[in-house]
Amino acid sequence: MSITEEITPTKVRAWILASRPKTLPAAVTPVIIGSALAFNDGVFHFGPALAALLCALFIQIGTNFSNDLLDYKAGTDTEERTGPARAVASKWLTENEMLWGTIIIFGLTVPLGLYLIAKAGIIVLFIGLLSIAAGIAYTGGPYPLAYNGLGDLFVLIFFGGVATVGTYFVQAVDVTAEAFIAAIPAGGLITNILVVNNYRDIDSDKNTRKHTLAVILGKAGSRAEYVGFVVLSYVVPAVFFLWFDYSPWIFLPFLSLPLAIQPIRLLYSGLEGRDLNQVLAETARLSLLYALLLSAGIIL
């Protein structure tokens, strides 16, 4: 679907589409894993876990809104783009509406953040502010991360390390080595969603001088990056088993291997353009299924 739509959605549906529902597993998976680790260690607390989940979702949606607006203002959402339609570029929402939508969604994290600060200390404030700032800087500011090859690193750090370890921290008020290790598949598989997105848009991004990591690495390099994150993710259960004495249930994520192999096969099959949206959807499903299976293995 191009950025122009023959049928204009209602305002409500326009906001739903602008939130990019298919990307929201990226916000959920690290919270699931971090909470599973907390439960296993006997420090799980429902209130902080729920607040962390809502914060992650609001920050993800706010980042998507900001990205929609700032990509339009930068002129990178053109007719050549083969990804899902964007709300501002498609004239479903005005620039002002999207600006206020972004402010309101990020603003919803404030009461949740205050609650988490009361539970886990002032460091949560810095984590939250840094996450929101990074979300805006993804496509905004004087040096947009996504336009300068740093988008993948941003996702890996914030959806891996910050979200997973942060979820554990707000419940345990402590961190463990296992939390950092579990952040590898959480961040890696979510980063692969961005890898596919940017792989699909290499040609259009080149034309708009958007230097994503996919543009820098090329198609072969991007495919190798994708495979590398998948391999690292399936090494993690072995690390838990061998070094941290987890039960054989920790290998449950291997049940998701068929779902991991399929998008790799499709990437190497020569798919182009909109056909890669199928790989994008399968990658998002993989990240969520892997997180559920790893979390079950941690608890069992």
213-221 mean pLDDT: 94
3-state helix, strand, coil in the chain (%, to 5): 75, 0, 25
- More confident: 86 or 164: 164
147-151 mean pLDDT: 89
pLDDT cut 90: percent of the chain above it: 67
Res 2 pLDDT > 50: no
Can you tell me whether residue 211 is helix, strand or coil? strand
pLDDT of 77: 65
Q: pLDDT tens for residues 168-214?
A: 999 999 999 999 999 999 999 999 999 999 999 898 888 888 899 99
CA distance 163 to 180: 10
| Helix pair angle (177-200, 277-299), 10° resolution | 170
Reported in sequence order, the residue ranges of the chain that DSSP labels E, i.e. its strands, are none
pLDDT of 19: 92
pTM exceeding the 0.85 threshold for the entire prediction: yes
- More confident: 97 or 138: 97
CA distance 109 to 170: 15
Residues 6+ apart with CB under 8 A from 111: none
pLDDT of 78: 59
- Binned at pLDDT 50, 70 and 90, residue 298 comes out as very high
Res 281 pLDDT > 80: yes
Res 229 pLDDT > 90: yes
CA distance 285 to 288: 5
- Among candidates 14, 157, 39, 26, which has minimal Cα distance to 91? 14
141-166 mean pLDDT: 89
Residues 6+ apart with CB under 8 A from 9: 17, 92
At 152, which helix (H) or strand (E)?
Answer: helix 151-155
CA distance 66 to 278: 25
pLDDT of 134: 84
CA distance 195 to 215: 10
Tokens coding 260: 């991991």
Res 36 pLDDT > 90: yes
CA distance 215 to 210: 8
56-60 mean pLDDT: 92
13-35 mean pLDDT: 91
Residues 6+ apart with CB under 8 A from 29: 159, 186, 189, 190, 287, 288, 290, 291
Mean pLDDT of the chain: 90
Res 272 pLDDT > 90: no
Residues 6+ apart with CB under 8 A from 86: 3, 18, 68, 71, 72, 77
pLDDT of 3: 42
The CATH class, in words, for 11-299 is mainly alpha
- Name the β-bridge partners of 211: 148
Distance from first CA to last CA of the chain, Å, rounded? 43
Q: pLDDT tens for residues 74-122?
A: 777 655 556 677 889 889 999 999 999 999 999 999 999 999 999 999 9
CA distance 293 to 281: 19
- Among candidates 171, 181, 159, which has minimal Cα distance to 42? 171
247-263 mean pLDDT: 95
pLDDT of 83: 64
